[in-house]
Chains A and B, each alone.
Chain A
Amino acid sequence: MRLRARIHDPKDVIAGLLFVAIGLATIVGASDYPLGAIRNIGPGYFPILLGVCLALLGAAVAYQGIGRDEAAAAGAVHESDEGLGLRPLIMITLAVVAFGFLVRPLGLAAATVALVVISSLAGRDFSAVRVAVLSVALVTLSWLIFIKLLGLSMTLWPR
């Protein structure tokens, strides 16, 4: 509890720790690659250097979040928490993945419909009519633009 009370900006702490973690992972990952000599650096040198920089910067960001002095913390405007937005995060990501998964085997039409339906679930008001109209319109539009006009190599229907 005492530590909690001293954290003035949890965002900074989380972001900082995230950077530290990525930096350390970079160092570990790059340790397999040859370092080379300083006058002729190998493929491992630059990533390790970056990893060290990133970890140090991350530590500084995290420190900023913990060690703010009272005056600065009092002056900081805390933006209202607008929620995590988990629903749009999941639905939009799912919609994109579904599109990628379906577009090769089933064609652009099915993938588009899936994308429109799933992504519309991310919003607050879902209307079946609107989604249906939008799906048809977008399938037609993307067929016209991308397949007819630009000649991208994709099929509209399952082959």
Chain B
Amino acid sequence: MEFLDNLALGFNVALSPTTLLYCMIGVTVGMFIGVLPGIGPIATVGMLLPITFHMRPTEAIIMLAGIYYGAMYGGSITAILLKLPGTAASAVTVVEGYPMAQQGRAGPALVMTTIASFFGACVAIVIVAAFAPPLAQFALRFQSPEYFSLMMVGLIAAAVLAHGSLLKGLAMAVLGLVIGCIGQDRNTGLPRFTFDIGELYEGVQFVVVVVAMFGLAEIIHNLALGGKHEILARRVPLRDLIPSREDLRISFWPMVRGSALGAVIGILPGAGPAISSFASYALEKQLARDPSRFGKGAMEGLVAPEAANNADSQAAFIPTLTLGVPGDATTAIILAAMLIHGITPGPKITTDAPQLFWGLIASFWIGNLVLLVLNLPFIGLWVRMLSIPYRILFPCVLLFSCIGVLSLNNDAFDVYLAAAFGVAGYVFLKLGCEATPLLLGLILGPMVEENFRRSLQLSRGDPTIFLTRPISLAFILVGVFLIVLVVAPGLRRRKQAQSST
């Protein structure tokens, strides 16, 4: 039983005291920032990455991954109690969770989302463990053209899923690729767009961009809005937490469906947890006998997306680990973290670094268990944390961001660069351009160029190589399909508008 041996190895790694400690730190921090409004998991992982440089790679990655899925749990708490989604994926949780809280059922809503999250994660972990190795086996056949086309799909998917227009998303992805060109060319060593600034020869560190565009720009935006939020329940007594047997009964199949859907969508590169939760919500509404209950606190509409986004955030590690193409901005950062720690994710990861791979998967399960244990008894505590005012919170975030950036190279230049990118990030935010595709472009940039160059070498300069190789063609078609999927409804609407006038 190779599968069981692998899992045994994984648990052996994940249960060693130091790894366990880092896993717990990771999920607790993730939970914490998921609850605190105004700081996302992306900015946090970026901020804390420099601190992990002196840790062992496996421990560092396990901790950073813990922040990622921990934030998924925390995000739903604020969604239910504050009508304030802590993460993009918990935006759907608001729709059913907040009405439940208004009806005085905040307790069961919180507990059921926790159970659904745990359920979804467990399903996805099994899927990751079962499907990642065969997928890696398959990916061994990939050469440069396949990788190039796959990365294109990832970038297109990120652009498609970004808020606002597709064109803006694509432009941001290309802009990310351009920023990725800054620094010495990998092939010839020629410095590009460095303006004779020595610090830029190594390229723009993505941590700087992450902290700036997801941290600083967000802070500026929040302060400009200056909004206040009303907390529905400051205290949730323990006895109100217990869900009824009816709650559990109606939740079971939605959780199963949500988990399956989330796991499948999570495997697609570029599709983040937000799309899973929206898709799963739509599915439950379709299946419901009485769809009119939705939007007024329907339990199915709460648990299914919650299971889906947690399943997705685990399954997203399949493409990240085995193909080296991340599922969304946060897994992109974890990918970059692995590169910094000298691990190249790719088809060979299960054989080259089995300890990391299986240790990470086992840590997912342990981390989720820790979250379940942390979450249920301490819900009251998490709720009380919501009352930390933003005017105290944001200077702390700002300081930790600056220290994180500074500790990258011990160079104040990176701090100035972060300030500049913060301004740029705010301008783009104001113009309705989301930063996620840019970040993905920046991280994938050097790899995209390298695979593009090698593909053309392989084909002796014939650009149709991307269309003549079957796997590469399949990826290109997926990309085209994604674009059509977004553009088509708009065209139809326009046609209808024209015919009606």
Complex Cα spacing A30 to B395, Å = 39
Q: How far is the CB of B430 from chain A (nearest CB, A)?
A: 8
| Secondary structure call for the B interface | helix
Complex Cα spacing A125 to B228, Å = 14
- The answer to whether A96 and B225 touch across the interface, beta carbons within 8 angstroms, is no
B381 within 8 A of A: no
A144 within 8 A of B: no
Complex Cα spacing A18 to B175, Å = 11
- The answer to whether A46 and B398 touch across the interface, beta carbons within 8 angstroms, is no
**Which residues from B are CB-within-8-Å of A122?**
220, 223
- The answer to whether B51 and A54 touch across the interface, beta carbons within 8 angstroms, is no
- The answer to whether B494 and A64 touch across the interface, beta carbons within 8 angstroms, is no
- The answer to whether A54 and B415 touch across the interface, beta carbons within 8 angstroms, is no
Shortest Cβ distance from A20 into B: residue: B171
Q: How far is the CB of B304 from chain A (nearest CB, A)?
A: 28
**Which residues from B are CB-within-8-Å of A146?**
403, 407
Which of B1-9, B85-93, B186-194 interfaces with chain A? B186-194
A152 within 8 A of B: yes
B234 within 8 A of A: no
Choose from B167, B192, B225, B457 the contact partner of A60 (Cβ within 8 Å): B167
- The answer to whether B461 and A37 touch across the interface, beta carbons within 8 angstroms, is yes
- The answer to whether A95 and B398 touch across the interface, beta carbons within 8 angstroms, is yes
**Which residues from A are CB-within-8-Å of B398?**
92, 95-96, 115, 119
Shortest Cβ distance from A135 into B: residue: B395
Q: Do A120 and B422 form a contact, CB below 8 Å, given A30-B192, A43-B192, A85-B223?
A: no
**Which residues from B are CB-within-8-Å of A138?**
395-396, 399
B497 within 8 A of A: yes
A110 within 8 A of B: no
- The answer to whether B419 and A57 touch across the interface, beta carbons within 8 angstroms, is no
Complex Cα spacing A47 to B487, Å = 28
Shortest Cβ distance from A95 into B: residue: B398
Complex Cα spacing A53 to B441, Å = 14
B358 within 8 A of A: no
B388 within 8 A of A: no
Complex Cα spacing A95 to B399, Å = 9
**Which residues from A are CB-within-8-Å of B460?**
39
- The answer to whether A38 and B168 touch across the interface, beta carbons within 8 angstroms, is no
Q: How large is the interface on B (under 10, 10 to 19, 20 to 34, 35 or more residues)?
A: 35 or more
- The answer to whether A92 and B216 touch across the interface, beta carbons within 8 angstroms, is yes
Shortest Cβ distance from B219 into A: residue: A92
- The answer to whether B395 and A100 touch across the interface, beta carbons within 8 angstroms, is no
Q: How far is the CB of B309 from chain A (nearest CB, A)?
A: 26
Residue picked from A46, A87, A119, A154, most chain B C-beta under 10 Å: A46
| Secondary structure call for the A interface | helix
B452 within 8 A of A: yes
B165 within 8 A of A: yes
**Which residues from A are CB-within-8-Å of B226?**
123-124
Shortest Cβ distance from A131 into B: residue: B395
Complex Cα spacing A38 to B460, Å = 8
Complex Cα spacing A36 to B97, Å = 58
A11 within 8 A of B: yes
Choose from B168, B192, B427, B463 the contact partner of A61 (Cβ within 8 Å): B168
In chain A, positions 112-130 with a C-beta closer than 8 Å to chain B are 112, 115-116, 119-120, 122-125, 130
Complex Cα spacing A68 to B373, Å = 53
Complex Cα spacing A57 to B430, Å = 19
Q: How far is the CB of A113 from chain B (nearest CB, A)?
A: 10
- The answer to whether B416 and A26 touch across the interface, beta carbons within 8 angstroms, is no
- The answer to whether B165 and A64 touch across the interface, beta carbons within 8 angstroms, is yes
Q: Do A46 and B449 form a contact, CB below 8 Å, given A30-B192, A69-B494, A85-B223?
A: yes
B181 within 8 A of A: yes
- The answer to whether A96 and B174 touch across the interface, beta carbons within 8 angstroms, is no
Q: How far is the CB of A69 from chain B (nearest CB, A)?
A: 7
Q: Do A61 and B395 form a contact, CB below 8 Å, given A43-B192, A85-B221?
A: no
Complex Cα spacing A40 to B188, Å = 12
- The answer to whether B192 and A89 touch across the interface, beta carbons within 8 angstroms, is no
Q: How far is the CB of A36 from chain B (nearest CB, A)?
A: 9
- The answer to whether B419 and A97 touch across the interface, beta carbons within 8 angstroms, is yes
Q: How far is the CB of A131 from chain B (nearest CB, A)?
A: 8
**Which residues from B are CB-within-8-Å of A11?**
430-432
A15 within 8 A of B: yes
- The answer to whether B223 and A41 touch across the interface, beta carbons within 8 angstroms, is no
Complex Cα spacing A108 to B412, Å = 12
In chain B, positions 151-189 with a C-beta closer than 8 Å to chain A are 165, 167-168, 170-171, 174-175, 177-178, 181, 185, 187-188
Choose from A72, A108, A120 the contact partner of B494 (Cβ within 8 Å): A72
What residues of chain A have their CB less than 8 Å away from a CB belonging to chain B? Answer: 11-12, 14-15, 18-19, 22, 26, 29-30, 33-34, 37-43, 46-47, 50-51, 53-54, 57-58, 60-61, 64, 69, 71-72, 82-85, 87-89, 92-93, 95-97, 99-101, 103-104, 108, 111-112, 115-116, 119-120, 122-125, 130, 134, 138, 142, 146, 150-154
Known: A69-B494, A103-B402, A150-B54. 15 other contacts (CB 8 A): A12-B165, A30-B192, A38-B463, A39-B460, A39-B461, A50-B178, A57-B167, A72-B494, A72-B497, A89-B220, A89-B423, A116-B399, A120-B395, A124-B226, A138-B396
29 contacts between A and B (CB under 8 A): A19-B171, A22-B178, A30-B181, A38-B463, A39-B456, A43-B188, A53-B174, A57-B174, A58-B171, A61-B167, A61-B168, A69-B497, A71-B501, A72-B493, A72-B497, A85-B221, A85-B225, A87-B224, A96-B398, A99-B399, A99-B406, A103-B415, A104-B412, A122-B223, A134-B392, A142-B399, A142-B400, A146-B407, A152-B407
